[in-house]
Amino acid sequence: MKKKIAIGVSDFRKMLTGGYYYVDKSLFIKEIIDDGSEIILLPRPRRFGKTLNMSMLRYFFEKSVQDNKPLFVNLAIGQNSDCMAKQGRYPVIYLSFKDTKSENWDQMYNKMVGLIIREYDRHYSYNGLMNSASLSDADKRYISRILDASASLSEYESSIHMLTEFLSRHYHQKVVILIDEYDVPIQQAYLKQYYDPLISFIRNFMTAALKDNGYLEKGVLTGVMRVARESLFSGLNNLSVWTLLDEPYCKQFGFLESEVEELLNYYGIESQLEEVRNWYNGYIFGNAVIYNPWSLLKYVQNWKGGLQPYWINTSDNEIVHRLISRGGPALKMELEDLLQGTAMVKTINQNISMGEVEKCRRSIAIS
């Protein structure tokens, strides 16, 4: 029986144990380990495997009661003994902001608090921190305030930094922080007009957790947008940003041509390669030609239905719609030229902030 196509499966353990076809991106782990940067930001398009890769990092690094080593032994990373020596060594803080979409600041703040509470509870109630001899009575009172939602705003701003301290003292090991879709609340705040209070909170939250944190081993963040000039990151001098233009990590999101060939061969539709190439390989990340994984998997799942633009409407494009609708006649003429196949040269502005997006409609923020 052929392995199943994984549509919407973003949990690495489920992918490896659930009978799904997996394109081996485990050497992503080696790139993270070898990267000398303490904090790494990886902006990539939606549906290109960010969450699955972050889940893989969590299962690899996390010190857990469940032995996760068997997940990796048959993957490429399993052949690297130096990397495998780090498997299961670290406490991991994992936060996903992908569902933090709210109409106003009060609702967003409550969602952020809920995320923090769930991560505290995961470590405190289920992973043994509750009974740790390394925690003082004051520490436990602080944790109780976090868990029962009675902590102050400033305590929630510093909560992840404090959790790294508690975990590091308990395990006698530095902590890995993973933050997936970090930019979702920023986009929502911009669209729904509560940008200033959100930025104030998340800047303090991120800076406390990631800047000059002696309990931190490494932090990895993913998102769609590179929001370079945000005050969110202005104080993080230990941050490395690797965009679509850069060679590092260019092969770890999306499918390489060799991976597409293997996929089509496995399902017996290798004869469709040329048409698949014409439809789905319109990306160059760094020095690599990349295929859209969402479209490829949807096509293989239903190849008799023909080649289709599966990626359309897979995510919220409200910012793009807003900018196009307000772009004026010059932008509309440029879009018409592009649709007719006319080449166009534009300067890429890597230093745009969300607060300046509408002032810089003719600039491109790297995503």
Percent of the chain residues past pLDDT 70, beyond the cut: 89
Directed axis angle between helix 184-192 and helix 105-121, to 10°? Answer: 160
How many beta carbons lie within 10 A of that of residue 150, not counting itself?
Answer: 9
* pLDDT attached to residue 353: 63
Q: pLDDT class for 357, splitting at 50, 70, 90?
A: low
Question: Which DSSP state fits 230?
Answer: -
Query: Looking at the whole model, is its pTM more than 0.85?
Result: yes
Own/partner pairs, 312-316, CB within 8 angstroms, 24+ separation:
314/46, 314/47, 315/46, 315/47
* pLDDT attached to residue 344: 85
pLDDT over 60 (residue 366)? no
Better pLDDT: 329 or 228: 329
* pLDDT attached to residue 14: 97
* pLDDT attached to residue 341: 85
pLDDT in tens, 197-231: 999 999 999 999 999 999 999 999 999 887 655 55
* pLDDT attached to residue 119: 97
Per the CB < 8 A criterion, the answer to whether 231 and 203 are in contact is: yes
* pLDDT attached to residue 351: 64
Q: Which fold has domain 12-241?
A: Rossmann fold (3.40.50)
pLDDT in tens, 255-273: 999 999 999 999 999 999 9
* pLDDT attached to residue 314: 56
Give residues with Cβ within 8 angstroms of 144, minimum separation 6. none
* pLDDT attached to residue 363: 45
Better pLDDT: 216 or 305: 216
Q: With CA atoms as reference, report the closest residue to 73 among 60, 58, 90.
A: 60
Residue ranges of the chain that CATH labels 3.40.50? 12-241
Percent of the chain residues past pLDDT 90, beyond the cut: 68
Three-state secondary structure of 169-200: HHHCCCEEEEEECCCHHHHHHHHHCCHHHHHH
pLDDT in tens, 56-96: 999 999 998 889 999 999 999 999 999 999 999 999 999 99
* pLDDT attached to residue 1: 86
* pLDDT attached to residue 306: 81
pLDDT in tens, 151-165: 999 999 999 999 999
pLDDT in tens, 109-140: 999 999 999 999 999 987 778 889 999 999 99
Gap between the Cα atoms of 116 and 130, Å rounded: 16
Burial class of residue 124 (count of CB atoms within 10 Å of its CB; 0-12, 13-18, 19+): buried
